[in-house]
């Protein structure tokens, strides 16, 4: 798990090109998932990560998302990314992809869309993403609807927290994990830009327009059904 988390952190650090303002926090134990107490300065983002017993094998694999955001700009201050220890062995070969996906939620992909006013049609059968950069990349991929489709199935940890699987197939920030390649595309990087991060689009994986509108056939795991995407509870000045 440690190597997967290190790889995920390195992946996102290569994409986000500019640091965030430092803030002082006093986080009580248990304030953000199962975190230990922390008091000090957060320079960029603090992620409380590890593994614990959540609900046993086959249930929730991971919990991730920001617990607190900056009052100015609304970006993550501290977040949780916790794996269920009972499920880790079963996903050892794909744990890095899962860690990258979950850390994306901790940064704000899916978890901050509603908070930042980037979703229209919430609670309907056709929620759409409103971010300018993401919609530009959607159109570049061949999208014709103007606004990028968000996931419209599943519960609160799935719907409106991922790109729509039926549209984007094996893209890493959909709610499904393919058994083969799961590219992190310019679309997801654009999602970070819409939140307010400075990003490097050249770090995106190859993701062809031919993938668009074709349902992936190599599904191995309905990741979204086995994760809890957390939304922020607090603001820090």
Enter the tokens of residue 21: 């303002």
Per residue in 97-136, pLDDT (tens digit) is 999 999 999 999 999 999 999 999 999 999 999 999 999 9
pLDDT attached to residue 212: 61
pLDDT of 21 > 90? The answer is yes
The answer to whether 214 touches 169, Cβ cutoff 8 Å, is yes
pLDDT attached to residue 97: 94
The answer to whether 222 touches 99, Cβ cutoff 8 Å, is no
Phi and psi (nearest 5°) for 26? -130, 100
Residues paired with residue 81 on neighbouring β-strands, in sequence order:
49, 64
- Rounded mean pLDDT of 181-193? 97
pLDDT attached to residue 49: 93
Question: What SS3 state is found at 187?
Answer: helix
Calpha distance 78→22 (Å, rounded): 12
pLDDT attached to residue 87: 79
Per residue in 190-223, pLDDT (tens digit) is 999 999 999 999 999 999 756 565 545 555 577 7
Average pLDDT, the chain: 89
Give the whole-number percent of the chain exceeding pLDDT 70. 94
pLDDT of 79 > 90? The answer is yes
- Rounded mean pLDDT of 56-77? 90
CB burial of 93-110 (b: ≥16 within 10 Å; e: otherwise) equals ebbbbbbbbbbbbbbbbb
pLDDT attached to residue 164: 93
User: Residue 78: CA atoms inside 13 Å, Cβ hemisphere, count?
Assistant: 26
pLDDT attached to residue 183: 96
pLDDT attached to residue 19: 93
pLDDT attached to residue 210: 62
pLDDT attached to residue 233: 84
Enter the tokens of residue 87: 């499920």
């Amino acid at each position: 798990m440690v190597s997967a988390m290190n790889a995920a952190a390195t992946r996102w650090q290569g994409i986000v090109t500019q640091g965030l303002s430092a803030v002082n926090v006093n986080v009580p134990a248990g304030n953000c998932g199962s975190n230990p107490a922390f008091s000090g300065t957060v320079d960029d983002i603090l992620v409380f990560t590890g593994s614990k017993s959540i609900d046993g094998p086959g249930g929730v694999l991971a919990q991730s998302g920001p617990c607190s955001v900056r009052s100015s700009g609304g970006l993550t201050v501290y977040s949780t990314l916790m794996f269920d220890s009972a499920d880790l062995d079963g996903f050892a070969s794909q744990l890095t992809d899962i860690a990258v996906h979950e850390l994306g939620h901790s940064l704000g992909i899916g978890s901050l869309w509603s908070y930042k006013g980037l979703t229209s049609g919430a609670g309907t059968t056709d929620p759409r993403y409103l971010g300018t950069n993401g919609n530009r990349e959607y159109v570049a991929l061949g999208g014709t609807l103007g606004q990028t489709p968000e996931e419209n199935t599943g519960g609160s940890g799935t719907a409106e927290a991922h790109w729509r699987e039926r549209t984007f197939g094996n893209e890493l920030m959909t709610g499904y994990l393919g058994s083969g390649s799961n590219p992190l595309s310019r679309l997801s990087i654009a999602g970070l830009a819409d939140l307010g991060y400075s990003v490097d689009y050249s770090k995106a994986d190859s993701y062809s327009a031919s993938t668009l509108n074709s349902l992936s056939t190599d599904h191995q795991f309905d990741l979204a059904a086995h994760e809890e995407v957390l939304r922020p509870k607090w603001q820090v000045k």
